[in-house]
Structure 1
């Protein structure tokens, strides 16, 4: 039922390879891999990677009624559309970085905007970090005015090691908090946590470390105002955009250095 190319892609995908790796090994575009997988799923009558693996091993898929089949097809279609949206957003961000000529404001605004859209979050902040001065909210997107005012008044500020940002500094890893109001630090009245929950209206929160060759330089944070923890897919997106923010900041620094050198 499958063409030789479809068999290659199906086998690689069932082994756990992602779109990008398959595309690289076969010298095709990731979007072409998606198109082939949609055809493969339809031909084999499967709706998951597990079912795909079983089908490749010769096991016949269980029959599904029309309602189940329609539901599975719609889920697959939605997943493919989400993947397309993620790749399109990343492509747009890379394009903005390449033509920004050091305009960091334009890049970070775009990065935060795409991150909020793809992670289905209400607002986001890019914090700069200094071991001596602490954190400062340098770029914001869709943040409630009361929380924005509070952050502006703080300027640079140090955080408790028990806050999300404080834990991120200690571990240099993603911090994913299901409910900011359920942690002990909120009940103890920590200023940052109080502002996040009560002025920002945040419930679920994630902080992604921004790391350059010099070490931690900031944090990429996104917030949901509903109690809905960030899933692995959202964390992956957030990490990608945090990495792109680091690249943009480094590019801006290099452009500034080149301009300064020319002016001497």
Structure 2
């Protein structure tokens, strides 16, 4: 087994779960920490144990000796690259699985959307996500949610289809037809007003960093794919690319459901 002095108790917990196949989100939920904290620990673990893959990590945990390294900085670079590669492979695997679910769902959005949100939250290190359907004139309805705090979910349920102001993330997304990436929802002037959506997002949902991605079909806005972090951690370009991929898959699923619905009415 690994020397007791090499890993802290928390690092050992994370290493064992990751080597066993758990995702960042699974580990974060199990240990009550943020997914980004899991990744930070894993980078340290890879560096300490001088491993460059999940397979090597599992081996080290089983007592296999580390390969000799000549330079600590070199090992750090290798560990970071290894984690980045594994994350890229996870994105590819998630996308393949989402496409498989869409193909097998026969238009059943209740099977597809939770899976898409689950993969998006995992790969983007986010705590909760919402798929909003757009109802024209800057009105939205939260059709699917995952991981959302109960108070925020209750607010969405009570309000049903609601209008958003131009200053909100969703309102700006409608006007700009572009991704809106907010570093801290509490730092904007809108938070110091009585805007109901911003209050619900920040105070009921505990959200801090937020991104809204327009879902567009044939130049028509059909919804917003939004993910939230409960700490101030702006979404990186890599995270945004991942989220945009899942937003695009959500559009495909919605359009498939619409077409299947029309076909069934004939």
Q: TM-score, normalised by structure 1?
A: 0.73
1:168 and 2:206 correspond: no
Residue number among 90, 112, 121 corresponding to 1:116 in the alignment: 121
Deviations, residues 88-133 of structure 1 (Å, cap 9, x unaligned): 0000000101111111111111000000000010000000101147
Aligned to 1:148: 153
Residue number among 198, 202, 205 corresponding to 1:197 in the alignment: 202
- Change in Cα spacing, 1:92 to 1:156, as seen in structure 2 (3 Å) is same
Return the alpha-carbon distance in structure 1 between the equivalents of residues 100 and 145 of structure 2.
21
Helix, strand or coil: the match of 1:229?
coil
- Superposed CA RMSD in Å reads 1.2
1:189 CA displacement: 2.3
Return the alpha-carbon distance in structure 2 between the equivalents of residues 89 and 214 of structure 1.
26
Residue number among 85, 88, 95 corresponding to 2:90 in the alignment: 85
Aligned to 2:232: 227
Return the alpha-carbon distance in structure 2 between the equivalents of residues 134 and 99 of structure 1.
31
In the alignment, structure 2 segments of 5+ residues that lack a partner are 1-68
Q: In 2, are the aligned partners of 1:107 and 1:248 still within 8 Å (CA)?
A: yes
Q: In 2, are the aligned partners of 1:134 and 1:156 still within 8 Å (CA)?
A: yes
Helix, strand or coil: the match of 1:205?
strand
User: Counterparts of 1:243-258 in structure 2 under 5 Å?
Assistant: 243-258=248-263
Q: In 2, are the aligned partners of 1:205 and 1:221 still within 8 Å (CA)?
A: yes
Deviations, residues 185-222 of structure 1 (Å, cap 9, x unaligned): 00112110011000000000000000011510100000
In the alignment, structure 1 segments of 5+ residues that lack a partner are 1-63
Aligned to 2:11: none
Q: Give the 4+ runs in structure 1 shifted more than 6 A.
A: none
User: Counterparts of 1:33-182 in structure 2 under 5 Å?
Assistant: 66-132=71-137, 134-182=139-187
Aligned to 2:40: none
Return the alpha-carbon distance in structure 1 between the equivalents of residues 137 and 189 of structure 2.
27
- Change in Cα spacing, 1:128 to 1:196, as seen in structure 2 (3 Å) is same
Helix, strand or coil: the match of 1:137?
strand
Helix, strand or coil: the match of 1:136?
strand
Return the alpha-carbon distance in structure 1 between the equivalents of residues 74 and 179 of structure 2.
37
Q: Which has the larger radius of gyration?
A: 1
Return the alpha-carbon distance in structure 1 between the equivalents of residues 148 and 102 of structure 2.
23
Helix, strand or coil: the match of 2:119?
helix
Q: In 2, are the aligned partners of 1:133 and 1:156 still within 8 Å (CA)?
A: no
Return the alpha-carbon distance in structure 1 between the equivalents of residues 196 and 233 of structure 2.
23
Aligned residues: 198
Worse overlay, 67-76 or 197-206: 67-76
Q: In 1, are the aligned partners of 2:138 and 2:164 still within 8 Å (CA)?
A: no
Aligned to 2:244: 239
Q: In 1, are the aligned partners of 2:140 and 2:162 still within 8 Å (CA)?
A: yes
